[in-house]
Amino acid sequence: MPTSSQSGKASIKWVLSKLPEPKTALDIGCGEGTYAKLFPKLEWTGVEIWEPYAEKYGLQALYQNLILQDAREFSTDEHFNVCFLGDVLEHMTVAEATVLVEKAKSWADTVIISIPIGHYPQDEYEGNPYERHVKDNWSDAEVKEAFGKPTWSIVDAEIGVYAYSKHKIALSYCVYAVSKNEEQFVERFCKSAENADYILIADTGSTDRTADLAFESGAVVHDIYINPWRFDLARNAALALIPRKFDICISLDLDEVLEPGWKEKIEEVWIPGKTTNLWYYFDWGHNLRFPYRKIHSRHGYHWHHPCHEDLRIDGRVEHVTAWCNHLLVSHHPDPTKSRGQYMEILEVAVKEDDKDPQHFFYYARELTFYRRWDEAKKALTTYLGMNAANNQNERCYAMRLMGKSYAETGDTAQAEKWYYQAVGEAPNTREPWYELAMLMYRQHRWEECFASAMRGLKIKDKALVYTCDPTVWGYGLHDLAAISAHNLGLRNIAVKQGEIAASMEPNDLRLRSNLKYYSGTVDSEGEKAA
């Protein structure tokens, strides 16, 4: 049909943005004049085989030079900055298409091909026999075999876009971070990001060698001043320093590392001109991994939240996400680093926007770190009462924190109630069962401890969410199951669960001693189960 699919058009626009100010263009197979409409500032020559289209679509007004001729017979001595072969090669044989592409390469600095990929049959349309697809099953591999290795290519939905150019056509990357006194991480960070086109570090007042080492490692270093301190303002300041020409920005902390091959993995899923944000896996350490999305286009985004800042769309672009499930960013933090700055900023956050559930959740969680249990209960109650607080795993975590707050203040009945609510909120989550088992263990309620531990162990799949507790997926539930089974006289189960627990932590003396006790290799006056 003369109407061209919208798939691939965003990528074609992006390709043109990479060319050095193209002025002249050749459009082979004009149809309704799609490309002349997309890029009206170019000087256009069009070649169209079906004469009725000229009048129907007003091609004479769109093209400075319109030639009514079969593209297979067309030739020219003119040279163009760019030649478009959009939805035309499928209308001829492979041999004819190959010849036409080779001629187009001699006519233009850049040839852009748009072609259906996959099974895509089409008959004549409105009396035009040339609309029939002669080869209706092009594959990506066949395109590259027939026309040669492209300078750049992408398959977007059912359309493949292939550029053959004298100019470099590639996605450009900037990795950026905010720093302060992190000299131990700088070289590792820059090494992991070395394949980026630009590494930017916005330093916020380091008194060690952070800035010097960053510069020596190839980064561009800027000094920024944020007072009062907020993470979102700092990251937005860093983002503003990134030159506008870059396609993809990767926001990291200095204690985070990109795995080798990250560019290739991004480019498997990122559609230039279309994709604006990328999901990937973030390894927090301690066997905790969850989806993250701090990779974004240069334009259209900003950071929000004074603490635990979040990436937000600002309306300049359409938010189009992609997912790369084999891209990993790893976190290797300094275990001695204080989290003391968080509380003050979170207090600002909840005052600044008391309708945002994320603020209250983070604030409540922070209160539990400082064992401010009564304040935590109030903040958690506020969070759970918000209509916008609809993240199931996060709500489950909030209920677990509520249970912990009551347990720590001696109200075990309320703690038990909240742990059961957490179970109901996220039934396939192991963590509330572990906390219930621990609560029962402390009260020597062995039947309930055993039941909770065994129920938790039935959940085999760890959720890939940041609310996951990695300790729950270690020996803990097996240990609680063994202790409670022993106290219930279930010797075989106690031994079995004790063996599993000890195998998971072979250097833990208590677990080894307990196992000996369960199996009867020490007497009752010897080592006892803890």
Q: Which residues form the domain of 225?
A: 173-331
The answer to whether the CB of 190 falls within 8 A of the CB of 38 is no
Query: pLDDT, tens digit, for every residue of 11-59?
Result: 999 999 999 999 999 999 999 999 999 999 999 999 999 999 999 999 9
Provide the mean pLDDT of the chain: 93
pLDDT tens, position by position, 164-194: 999 999 999 999 999 999 999 999 999 999 9
Do 246 and 151 lie in a common domain?
Answer: no
Tell me, yes or no, whether 99 lies in a domain: yes
Domain identity same for 187 and 92: no
Residue 443 included in any domain? yes
Burial status of residue 226 (CB atoms within 10 A of its CB: 0-12, 13-18, 19 or more): middle
Q: Where does the pLDDT of residue 341 fall: very low under 50, low under 70, confident under 90, or very high at 90 and above?
A: confident
- 79 has a pLDDT exceeding 90: yes
pTM equals 0.88
Q: Out of 331, 354, 384, pick the residue that ends a domain.
A: 331
* Same-domain status, 106 and 182: no
Convert the pLDDT of each residue in 364-394 to its tens digit.
999 999 999 999 999 999 999 999 999 999 9
Do 515 and 432 have their domain in common? Answer: yes
pLDDT at 398 over 50: yes
Residue 327 has pLDDT above 80, yes or no: yes
Whether 526 has a pLDDT exceeding 70, the answer reads no
pLDDT at 60: 95
Domain boundary among 276, 305, 331: 331
Q: How far apart are CA 378 and CA 398, in angstroms?
A: 12
Count of structural domains within the chain: 3
CATH number at residue 513: 1.25.40.10
- Report yes or no: 343 and 349 within 8 Å, Cβ to Cβ: no
User: Pick from 101, 130, 165: which residue ends a domain?
Assistant: 165
**Same domain membership, residue 357 and residue 315:** no
> What pLDDT, in 10s, does the model give residues 221-263?
999 999 999 999 999 999 999 999 999 999 999 999 999 999 9
* Same-domain check for residues 188 and 145: no
Task: Classify residue 340: in a domain, yes or no.
Answer: no
Do 358 and 314 belong to one domain?
no
- Before 228, cis peptide (omega within 30)? yes
Q: Are residues 177 and 159 in the same domain?
A: no
**Are residues 362 and 310 both part of a single domain?**
no
Does residue 125 sit in the same domain as residue 226?
no
Q: Are residues 360 and 466 in the same domain?
A: yes
Tell me, yes or no, whether 84 lies in a domain.
Answer: yes
d(CA 474, CA 453): 13
Task: Give the mean model confidence (pLDDT) for residues 330-350.
Answer: 84
The 10 Å Cβ neighbour count of residue 406 is: 22
Q: What's the confidence (pLDDT) of residue 522?
A: 57
Domain shared by 147 and 205, yes or no: no
